[in-house]
Structure 1
Amino acid sequence: MDTTGPLAARVVTEVLSPAVVVVALPLAVAWHATGADVVATLGWGVLVAVFYSVLPMAFVVRGARRGHWDGHWVRDRAHRTVPLLVCLLSAAAGMAIMLVGGAPREVVALAWSMILTLVACLVITRWWKISVHATVAAGAVAMVAFLYGPWLLLLTLLVALVCWSRVAVADHTVPQVVAGALLGPLAGGAVFLTLH
């Protein structure tokens, strides 16, 4: 773990990272989509988690260990293109499996929303360093609140915590985390709402 910033901020950055959220979110969506069928939830949720989080993160961590970029969060904007493209390719492979396998509509909607949000982040990153942490956290809150009820908007407090942590560890500026927190619900949430 990096030693920049307060310990609490570094812990939040790791615990509420996109890699963690993108493991938990597909399980929540699959649980709703399958009517709480445990086997189907695990099957579809784990499939999304593997192709949208685990495999891309393994690539990023391996690249960081080999010195291709400056850590597993790829702080240097100029080095983010390759990791984001690998994430996109992995997601596309997962999407193909879901479409062939007949994944539930809500799970497919989640997968498309993550792909399109990733594309938006990739395009923005060509010129500016938007916070992917904030984007993913805010988009996830929008989706679970839509599926399970507005009381889950209380999780917005966790989004604020993520935004604070990214600024506190000096990985992002306030405008970068605010833009990310808006992009998640506006891009990912809107696509999910449209396709679900």
Structure 2
Amino acid sequence: MRSPRERPAGARLARLLTEVFAPGVLVTTLPLVAAARVSRSPAQFLLWGGTALLCCAIIPVGVIVHGVRRGRLTDRHVGDHRQRARPLSIGLASVAVGLLPLAAAVGWSRVRLRDHTGPQVLAGAALGAPLAAATFLALT
């Protein structure tokens, strides 16, 4: 096996891109960038960024790291497709739990501003969640 210095430039670039744009890196940085963009105060940033980071990155990535350390997963990229069901299920559940407070806050704001009624918000959530899930599943 070649040492890292002996690898061709294309292989080094491929490794760099794989590591920089790995899901674990993206789910850690993107929620923080989004929270920084919309937050009006450091407290808001900590609340939204921290919640997003916990639910979208720390828990899902932690499940994968734990699985690798226990020998249940072959590697942090979960290269063996047969091993993906459990980490993906836990990750999706974690993200869903993180989104619930946001969805509730948006629903409340729609009713409070009289843009929608309570039943309209509930109907939108009841129709929107399965539609979003179906779209996600169809695209993956």
Instruction: Judge same fold: TM > 0.5, yes or no.
Output: yes
Query: In the alignment, is the contact (CA less than 8 A) between 1:19 and 1:54 conserved in 2?
Result: no
**What is the alpha-carbon distance in structure 1 between the residues aligned to residue 42 and residue 35 of structure 2?**
9
Higher RCO (C-alpha 8 Å, min separation 6):
1
Letter in 1 for 2:56: Y
**What is the alpha-carbon distance in structure 2 between the residues aligned to residue 118 and residue 85 of structure 1?**
17
Q: CA deviation at 1:7?
A: 4.1
Q: Which moved more, 1:63-72 or 1:15-24?
A: 15-24
Residue number among 46, 51, 65 corresponding to 2:50 in the alignment: 46
**What is the alpha-carbon distance in structure 2 between the residues aligned to residue 41 and residue 11 of structure 1?**
30
**What is the alpha-carbon distance in structure 1 between the residues aligned to residue 26 and residue 58 of structure 2?**
11
Where does residue 90 of structure 1 map in the other structure? 94
What runs of 5+ residues in structure 2 fail to find an aligned partner? 110-128
Where does residue 28 of structure 2 map in the other structure? 23
Structure with max Cα Rg = 2
SS in 2 for 1:72: coil
Name the count of aligned residue pairs.
110
What is the 5 A alignment of 1:142-157? Answer: none
TM-score (norm 2): 0.62
1:13–1:117 distance in 2 versus 1, CA, 3 Å = farther
Tell me the alpha carbon deviations over residues 94-142 of structure 1, each in whole angstroms, 9 at most, x when there is no partner. Answer: 1234345x37x9xxxxxx8xx8599538x84xxxxxxxxxxxxxxxxxx
Tell me the alpha carbon deviations over residues 146-171 of structure 1, each in whole angstroms, 9 at most, x when there is no partner. Answer: xxxxxxxxxxxxxxxxxxxxxxxxxx
**What is the alpha-carbon distance in structure 1 between the residues aligned to residue 20 and residue 96 of structure 2?**
26
Provide the alpha-carbon RMSD of the alignment: 3.3
Q: CA deviation at 1:47?
A: 0.9
**What is the alpha-carbon distance in structure 2 between the residues aligned to residue 59 and residue 7 of structure 1?**
28
Q: Which moved more, 1:7-16 or 1:63-72?
A: 7-16
**What is the alpha-carbon distance in structure 1 between the residues aligned to residue 44 and residue 92 of structure 2?**
24
Letter in 1 for 2:44: A
- Give yes or no for the alignment of 1:75 onto 2:79: yes
Q: CA deviation at 1:78?
A: 1.8
Identity of aligned residues (%): 28
Tell me the alpha carbon deviations over residues 20-78 of structure 1, each in whole angstroms, 9 at most, x when there is no partner. Answer: 212221122223323x4222123201211111111111111111121212101100112
- Give yes or no for the alignment of 1:120 onto 2:137: yes
What runs of 5+ residues in structure 1 fail to find an aligned partner? 106-111, 125-196
1:117–1:47 distance in 2 versus 1, CA, 3 Å = farther
**What is the alpha-carbon distance in structure 2 between the residues aligned to residue 117 and residue 11 of structure 1?**
33
TM-score (norm 1): 0.46
